[in-house]
């Protein structure tokens, strides 16, 4: 299943207008049920694209968001990226979809890519696409790849049927930046879009990423960004 989002970044003039592009993220292991319900309610109140939550909380968040129009996203093979078996990843993807997720971000097998195991790399992703039936976003971890590995990873991911290319899994890998976004946008085939992720902390940075061509932004600072209360320090890309 695929979806196509519209990027109207040129029309954005104030922080609140960023809300439809934000995937409101809360993934820490210490979050309680009360925390996750509150997170879902925040996502609905601000009109975010989705609430991004751990798989174990998908059912709770999906129930809270039912009828709001806000999606439920989850991540798989994360935060230790590319460590699951392909069969295990596909089975977990199917379970996450059954619990109510509407989108899925996945880690990729970087070691397989670097080993030249291209068929295995592609099938690992394709298995998730088939098993989940959801729009799948691949966390490519661009800073960990050589230029040729980047090109290969992008092509293999699209051959596997992904809906989104994503620069990185978190700010520990890369601060989301227009250069990485444009790199992916320039290579994306029709029907494939780009999500930016990694230390997105204030509205000007978010706007710049959308202007570079991203259609989704993964951040845990969504409320602060759209209310204009986020850290406005200069981001150095």
Is-catalytic flag, 166? yes
Is-catalytic flag, 105? yes
The separation between CA 75 and the C-alpha centre of its own chain, rounded to angstroms, equals 8
- Given 77, 89, 105, 124, the catalytic residue: 105
Is-catalytic flag, 89? no
What is the Cα gyration radius of the chain? 17
Q: How far apart are CA 30 and CA 49, in angstroms?
A: 24
Q: How far apart are CA 4 and CA 11, in angstroms?
A: 19
- Given 77, 195, 201, 208, the catalytic residue: 195
Q: Which long-range contacts (CB under 8 A, 24 or more apart) does 181-185 make?
A: 181/209, 181/212, 181/213, 181/214, 182/212, 182/213, 183/142, 183/150, 184/140, 184/154, 184/213, 185/212, 185/213, 185/214
Q: What are residue 52's DSSP bridge partners?
A: 25, 73
Q: Measuring CA to CA, which residue among 12, 1, 3, 5 is closest to residue 214?
A: 5
- Given 89, 166, 201, 208, the catalytic residue: 166
Bin 47: left if φ > 0, else alpha if -120 < ψ < 50, else beta.
Answer: left
Q: Report, as residue numbers or ranges, the catalytic residues.
A: 105, 166, 195
């Amino acid at each position: 299943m695929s979806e196509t989002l519209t990027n109207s970044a040129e029309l954005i003039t104030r922080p609140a207008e960023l809300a439809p592009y934000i995937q409101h993220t809360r993934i820490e292991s210490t979050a309680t049920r009360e925390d996750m319900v509150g997170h879902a309610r925040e996502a609905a109140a601000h009109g975010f694209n989705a609430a991004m939550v751990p798989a174990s909380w998908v059912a709770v968040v999906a129930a809270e968001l039912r009828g709001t129009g806000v999606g439920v996203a989850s991540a798989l093979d994360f935060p230790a990226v590319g460590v699951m078996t392909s069969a295990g990843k596909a089975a977990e993807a199917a379970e996450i979809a059954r619990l109510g997720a509407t989108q899925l971000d996945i880690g990729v097998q970087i070691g397989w890519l670097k080993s030249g195991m291209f068929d295995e790399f592609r099938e690992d992703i394709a298995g998730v696409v088939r098993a989940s039936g959801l729009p799948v976003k691949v966390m490519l971890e661009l800073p960990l790849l050589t230029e040729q590995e980047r090109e290969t990873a992008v092509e293999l991911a699209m051959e596997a049927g992904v809906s989104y290319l994503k620069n990185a899994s978190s700010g520990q890998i890369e601060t989301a930046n227009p250069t990485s976004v444009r790199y992916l946008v320039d290579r994306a085939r029709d029907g494939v879009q780009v999500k930016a992720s990694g230390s997105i902390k204030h509205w000007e940075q978010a706007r710049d990423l959308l202007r570079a061509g991203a259609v989704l932004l993964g951040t845990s600072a969504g409320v602060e960004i759209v209310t204009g209360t986020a850290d406005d320090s200069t981001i150095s890309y």
